[in-house]
Amino acid sequence: MAEQKTVRFIIERQDGPDAKPYTQEFDVPYRPGLNVVAALMEIQKNPVTVDGKKVAPVVWECNCLEKVCGACMMVINGKARQACCSLVDKLDQPIHLAPARTFPVIRDLLIDRSVMFESLKRIQGWVEVDGTWEVKDAPIQNPYTAQTAYEISHCMTCGCCLEACPNVGPQSDFIGPAPTVQAYLFNLHPLGKFDAPKRLNALMEKGGITSCGNSQNCVEVCPKKIKLTTYLAQLNRDVNKQALKNIFNH
Amino acid sequence: MAKKPEKKIIVVGGGLSGLMATLKICEAGSKVDLFSYCPVKRSHSLCAQGGINACMDTKGEHDSIYEHFDDTVYGGDFLADQLAVKGMVEAAPKLIKMFDRMGVPFTRTAEGVLDLRNFGGQKNKRTVFAGSTTGQQLLYALDEQVRRWEVKGGVKKYEFWEFIKIIRNKQGVCRGIVAQNMNSNEIVSFPADAVILATGGPGQVYGRCTASTICNGSAVSAVYQQGAELGNPEFLQIHPTAIPGTDKNRLMSEACRGEGGRIWVWRKNPETGEKERWYFLEDMYPAYGNLVPRDVASRAIYKVVVHMGLGMHNPNRVYLDLSHIPADYLERKLGGILEMYGDFMGEDPRKVPMEIFPSIHYSMGGIWVDRMHHTNIPGLLASGECDYQYHGANRLGANSLLSATYSGTVSGPEALRVACSSEAGDALTQEEMEKARKECVDEFDKIRNMNGSVNAHQLHHKLGDVMYKYVSVERDNNGLKQCMVELNEILKEWNDIGVTDHGTWANQEAMFVRQLRNMIIYAMAITKSALLRDESRGAHAKIVLDTDYPDMDPELKERIEKKVGKFHFDPETHRAMDEKGDLVFMERDDKKFMRTTIVSFNQETEQPEVSYREFEHSLIKPRLRNYAVAKKE
Amino acid sequence: MFHTTFYLRRLHSLVGLLILGGVIFEHIFTNSMAIGGAAALNGALAMMELIPHPIFLAIEVCAIAVPLLFHGIYGVYIALQAKNNPRQYGFCRNWQFALQRWTAWYLVVFLIWHIGYLRIFTKGITGTPISYELLHNLFTSSPITTVLYILGMFAAIFHFCNGITTFCMTWGIAKGPRVQKVIACLSTLLCIVMCLITLVFMGSYFVM
């Protein structure tokens, strides 16, 4: 029998938030359609390095494996992406895995992205409905606007854009493209737009949209192909108008 | 009006149901501690693709709430509590309006009102949808509203906390939970006035399924072991159209069929002998065609592939074809999932037919609850997929988002009512909480130090293989008996697990070992109740064996003979086969089994114990389910 | 609330494009006179001398010194907030983003030297007027100086032209990817033209 084809993974590991990172190498049996999460699952089943050392299985986060939950974002061969839809066939080998260090590392590939959810609070990412009770019919919406909203609403808070953005990280207070653009989503809604000035003002604060440096990495790496830069430009326009209103309407 | 006293409710699970319950409780002025494995925005509800059913009647089809009610009950093969279903379908249009106000970007018609699509098991357009990611959009809307309440101080989120078990007070009322921080591995007891479980389905019991890795049913199994009864756990929906994979089977929405997708295989035409595409669903079920319910479609695919050997290309695949539909239409209606197929399979479904096969998808069964979502444990409520309500023996597509949301609107206020009443009993004492915590700490320490020879993930794989082999699309009593034996062996093997990670920082391996035991025990409940239900109903299809046949009710025997004509028993498998070589299934037995299966856990033997309970089915008279002809009222 | 960061960032962008852009154009225009020889450049410099001295000084302070100091100092603060990663994410715009910051660092050093030596020391302290002869001497005596000056001009031109592109994004003028691309192409063209002019007038010192 021919020897089974394997795929080499070089994984950057770290035992805790303050521990020193180190790398370990694993060989995973190849099969067609293998993706990075499936490979990590194989390592769980047989956590032995190429040197034959039995180690603790690699720790990472994943849920849906369908590219909708956003949990399994990591740096694969230098680029931030979802591990579940990273097919081994389309990656250069050996495959390097590393945590997205824009965020605090908890362990191995597991990171703490709570800052993104905090940012969603900051931009008031919701429609101020009176309650879940029945009020009346919701307003009719322009189907084209609704389609734009649908596109932006695909954002799964995975953090790829934050990891790739040179202006996001411990050195800066920028909230990042994803939460910023979410503000636009709510400004589009016929009820949500009532609070548009609040959201635009929130974006004017420190770490808001002004921290965008137009490197446009976000739109390149977005796994949902959201036209982030277009909406950032639109928000820039809206924010400028809001600034003029702030100056002249008071 | 006097201000209601502020109460604290624990909600475990941050999917649609948990979030909906949370919102209702916050709106009533009380506080919620919300526990979840993951940031609630990543809960499994977001994997629902096709849509949410509600009678909006905006397509000139004279759709009615009654029709929705009837379709749901009929689709569920008359095993659903009809009063509960009635409440749900009546509330559906209101819930859609609520979601619309919250900003869910539903797909719209040219004049800006909500568009509707077809879905399996219903003849009218009734499914409201947001492209092909409806679940994601609905979940996000509730997530946003809960975040708003978080800012207002109504909700405290415990994300990356795993539920371990409930704590009951002296009167036996559930007044708190023990949970573990998944990063620091710290185990803490939390008191509350009532607890709602909304922890989703048990798909991971089958290993590879359409569910997320977090849908392991561990929480359900934990309360089952603490005395909660399960209802109808044998009914697991098999989704006919999933993309098989080794890490998971990815769902290909029923919306594909709803938007005109056709399922076919290659065959030799029986008359001319020429190679042709056989649209077998359209052939077998002329009235509904490709839109038959999921259990029917899954069995048909099984028949064509497994028994007729017509699976093409790969042994276990059939084609789901959208390539005849204009690409721009597909993009608008199904864009997201078509892209997903491309991502994972590397082919464009707009041009070539997709390769699909049935996979475990949804559990109709779960924790037994009454119509107000109380479990049999006072103070403990369950809602969403983890309860057994609404779907009977088979769930209609696009009813799950509805039942998840609706059950939250029931369980939330009801939990609060209980919390405010005398039913809640005494608060937990420090000793009670500490005792429960200590037990969990000891258990975790024991698991952490397990030094056997078995790898937990390999054992999980084995569990999935066993369950798929014996308890999936087609079941028979020999297989189910064998399955019980093998599950008991797996449970024994669990004791011989060895973990490589003995630490107490983000020790995912040890937490998984704990979940795995719960999964095995839940699998036994599924298998035992499947074994004892000697009929075919909805998703539960049982093959007649030579040992079963003699004891069968004469009336049922007659029905089988009328349906399939002459049949014989295969000497090797003992299964009944008709003259065409098709398997013969048992008939629905309303006399004996028009009852809810109740499974309770025997603490001593660690085995499931099955009994049956009556339920409300007086509104629509049971009739036989046949999708080959149009539904008759 | 007053959004200081927001107004500072917008002012930084506005100052960079309009005022400092004007300064670059003026420099290129005046210096390109060198192509016409000593008389042409000296003539152009003499034209500027026609502006009364206090007004000229006021212009220098208000239109060059203050904006430049603000743009430079605040720019350093902005540049410090970036972790440049073009090698990881080698997209065209990301390289431009990084170059914008690298050219900024070079310009900080270069301008201190340039202004310090020519404007403050030579013209201000020793009182020597700037003339063709002075520049000719400066460049032909040291090739290193020439190279550093050409690099300084290139850096300033790139920084300015890339600034046009980002200005259009920051102010929401160019929204979609297509118009952003067109503007990026146009400013690249402008960048090339300005760099060529610079090469020509710098070269002219060596030809004549």
Instruction: Say how many C-beta atoms besides its own lie within 10 A of residue B274's C-beta.
Output: 8
Which runs of consecutive H residues, i.e. helices, occur in B286-387? 294-302, 327-345
Give the pLDDT of residue B342: 85
Domain with CATH 3.90.700.10 in chain B: 239-359
Which CATH number, 1.10.3720.10, 1.10.1060.10, 2.60.120.330, 3.30.930.10, labels domain A114-248? 1.10.1060.10
Burial profile B189-201: b = 16 or more Cβ within 10 angstroms, e = fewer = bbbbbbbbbbbbb
State the angle between helix axes of C21-32 and C143-170 in degrees (0 to 180), rounded to the nearest 10: 140
Give the pLDDT of residue A2: 55
| Nearest chain A residue to C93, by CA | A215
What is the distance of C-alpha A26 from the center of its chain? 26
Give the pLDDT of residue B148: 97
Q: Is B420 exposed, middle or buried (0-12, 13-18, 19+ CB in 10 A)?
A: middle
Section A142-164 average pLDDT: 96
Residues C158-201: tens digit of each pLDDT:
999 999 999 999 999 999 999 999 999 999 999 999 999 999 99
Q: How many CA atoms lie within 13 A of B537 on its CB side?
A: 31
Chain B residues 342-371 with CB within 8 Å of chain A: 343-346
Give the pLDDT of residue B631: 65
Q: Is B294 a catalytic residue?
A: yes
- Which amino acid type is present at position C140? T
Contacts of C1 in chain A (CB under 8 A): 201, 205
Q: Is residue A59 less than 8 Å (CB to CB) from chain B? A: yes
Give A155-204 as a 3 state SS string. Answer: CCCCCHHHHHCCCCCCCCCCCCHHHHHHHHHHHHCCCHHHHHHHHHHHHH
Contacts of A206 in chain C (CB under 8 A): 4-5
Contacts of A79 in chain C (CB under 8 A): 88-89
Question: What are B366's strand-pairing partners?
Answer: B231
Section A151-167 average pLDDT: 97
Q: DSSP assignment, residue C16?
A: I
Query: What's this model's pTM, rounded to 2 decimal places?
Result: 0.95
Q: Is residue A55 less than 8 Å (CB to CB) from chain B? A: yes
What is the distance of C-alpha A33 from the center of its chain? 24
**Looking at the predicted structure, is the pLDDT value of residue A65 above 70?**
yes
Please choose, from the candidates B358, B340, B359, the residue with its C-alpha nearest in 3D space to the C-alpha of residue B349.
Answer: B340
- Cβ(A8)–Cβ(A93) below 8 Å: yes
Chain B residues 565-624 with CB within 8 Å of chain A: none
The class that CATH gives domain A6-111 is alpha beta
Which of C8, C12, C94 is the best mutation test for A, with the most CBs of A within 10 A?
A: C94
CATH match of B435-592 with 1.20.58.100 = yes
Contacts of C89 in chain A (CB under 8 A): 79, 164, 217, 220-221
DSSP class per residue in B146-166? HHHHHHHTSEEEEETEEEEEE
Cβ <8 Å between B44 and A35: no
State the angle between helix axes of C38-49 and C132-141 in degrees (0 to 180), rounded to the nearest 10: 130
How far is A88 from A38, CA to CA, in rounded Å?
Answer: 10
- Cβ(B33)–Cβ(B8) below 8 Å: yes
Contacts of B212 in chain A (CB under 8 A): 63-65, 69
| Phi, psi at B175, each rounded to 5° | -125, 20
Residues B99-133: tens digit of each pLDDT:
999 999 999 999 999 999 998 888 899 999 998 89
Contacts of C98 in chain A (CB under 8 A): 166, 215
CA angle centred on A71, ends A108 and B255, rounded to 5°: 150
How far is B11 from B33, CA to CA, in rounded Å?
Answer: 6
Q: Which helix (H) or strand (E) holds C169?
A: helix C143-170
Contacts of C173 in chain A (CB under 8 A): 237
Contacts of A219 in chain C (CB under 8 A): 177
Which of A72, A132, A141 is the best mutation test for B, with the most CBs of B within 10 A?
A: A132
Residues near B632 by beta carbon (within 8 Å), at least 6 away in sequence = B623
Chains touching chain C at 3 or more Cβ pairs under 8 angstroms? A
Which of A96, A216, A226, A235 is the best mutation test for C, with the most CBs of C within 10 A?
A: A216
| Nearest chain B residue to A37, by CA | B247
Q: How far is CA A65 from CA A104, B243, B357, B386, in A?
A: 23, 12, 18, 21
Please choose, from the candidates B166, B179, B180, B170, the residue with its C-alpha nearest in 3D space to the C-alpha of residue B228.
Answer: B166
State the Cα torsion B571-B576-B581-B583 to the nearest 10°.
Answer: -130
Instruction: Say how many C-beta atoms besides its own lie within 10 A of residue C177's C-beta.
Output: 14
Give the pLDDT of residue A1: 45
Which of B26, B34, B102 is the best mutation test for A, with the most CBs of A within 10 A?
A: B102
State the angle between helix axes of B477-494 and B456-470 in degrees (0 to 180), rounded to the nearest 10: 170
Q: How many CA atoms lie within 13 A of C35 on its CB side?
A: 11
Give the pLDDT of residue B1: 44
| Nearest chain A residue to B113, by CA | A140
> Mean pLDDT over all residues of chain C?
94
Please pick, among B175, B208, B257, B294, the residue that the annotation labels catalytic. Answer: B294
How far is C33 from C130, CA to CA, in rounded Å?
Answer: 14
Q: How many domains does chain C divide into? A: 1
Q: Indicate contact of A with C: 3+ CB pairs under 8 A.
A: yes
- Cβ(B37)–Cβ(B423) below 8 Å: no
Cβ <8 Å between B345 and A65: no
Section A6-25 average pLDDT: 97
Cβ <8 Å between B38 and A143: no
Q: Is residue B458 less than 8 Å (CB to CB) from chain A? A: yes
Q: How far is B183 from chain A (nearest CA, A)?
A: 7
Q: Is residue A76 less than 8 Å (CB to CB) from chain B? A: no
Give the pLDDT of residue B452: 96
How far is C6 from A200, CA to CA, in rounded Å?
Answer: 11
Q: Which stretches of chain B score pLDDT less than 70?
A: 1-5, 312-315, 631-633
Cβ <8 Å between B42 and A156: yes
Both structure tokens of A180: 């910023």
Residues C33-75: tens digit of each pLDDT:
999 989 999 999 998 888 998 999 999 999 999 999 999 999 9
Note down the domain range covering C96: 4-207
| Nearest chain A residue to B56, by CA | A137
Cβ <8 Å between B245 and A38: yes
Domain with CATH 3.50.50.60 in chain B: 8-235+364-433
Give the pLDDT of residue B340: 84
Q: How far is C179 from chain A (nearest CA, A)?
A: 10
Section A44-63 average pLDDT: 96
Q: Which of C5, C84, C173 sits opposite A166 (nearest CB)?
A: C84
Where residue C127 sits, what CATH number does that domain have? 1.20.1300.10
- The pLDDT-based confidence of C1 (bands split at 50, 70, 90) is low
Contacts of B213 in chain A (CB under 8 A): 62-65
SS3 B11: strand
Chain B residues 113-132 with CB within 8 Å of chain A: 113, 130-131
Contacts of C97 in chain A (CB under 8 A): 166, 213-216
Could you tell me if residue B244 is left (phi over 0), alpha (psi between -120 and 50 degrees) or otherwise beta?
beta
SS3 A112: coil
Give the pLDDT of residue B307: 86
Architecture of domain B239-359: Alpha-Beta Complex (3.90)
CA angle centred on A90, ends A75 and A222, rounded to 5°: 45
Q: Indicate contact of B with C: 3+ CB pairs under 8 A.
A: no
Secondary structure tally for chain B: helices H, strands E: 16, 23
Residue that is written with structure tokens 């170059």 in the block: C99
Q: Is B423 exposed, middle or buried (0-12, 13-18, 19+ CB in 10 A)?
A: middle
| Nearest chain A residue to C85, by CA | A166
Give the pLDDT of residue B550: 92
Q: How far is B414 from chain A (nearest CA, A)?
A: 16
- Cβ(A209)–Cβ(A180) below 8 Å: yes
State the Cα torsion C171-C176-C182-C183 to the nearest 10°.
Answer: 10
Both structure tokens of A47: 């956590």
Cβ <8 Å between A66 and B112: no
Q: Which helix (H) or strand (E) holds B492?
A: helix B477-494
Chains touching chain A at 3 or more Cβ pairs under 8 angstroms? B, C
- Cβ(B365)–Cβ(B522) below 8 Å: no
How far is B167 from B430, CA to CA, in rounded Å?
Answer: 12
Q: Is residue B153 less than 8 Å (CB to CB) from chain A? A: no
Domain with CATH 3.10.20.30 in chain A: 6-111
Domain with CATH 1.10.1060.10 in chain A: 114-248
Strands B8-12 and B31-36: parallel
Q: Is residue B540 less than 8 Å (CB to CB) from chain A? A: no
| Nearest chain B residue to A146, by CA | B105
SS3 B304: helix
DSSP class per residue in B561-590? HHHH-SEEE-TTT-BEEETTS-B-BPPP-H
**Looking at the predicted structure, is the pLDDT value of residue A172 above 60?**
yes
% of chain C with per-residue pLDDT over 90: 90
Cβ <8 Å between C93 and A214: yes
> Mean pLDDT over all residues of chain A?
95
Residues A71-118: tens digit of each pLDDT:
999 999 999 999 999 999 999 999 999 999 999 999 999 999 999 999
Strands B250-251 and B230-231: unpaired
Section A182-210 average pLDDT: 96
| Nearest chain C residue to A237, by CA | C172
- Cβ(A183)–Cβ(A126) below 8 Å: no
The class that CATH gives domain B8-235+364-433 is alpha beta
Q: How far is CA B321 from CA B295, B296, B301, B360, in A?
A: 20, 19, 14, 21
What is the distance of C-alpha B355 from the center of its chain? 23
Contacts of A247 in chain C (CB under 8 A): none
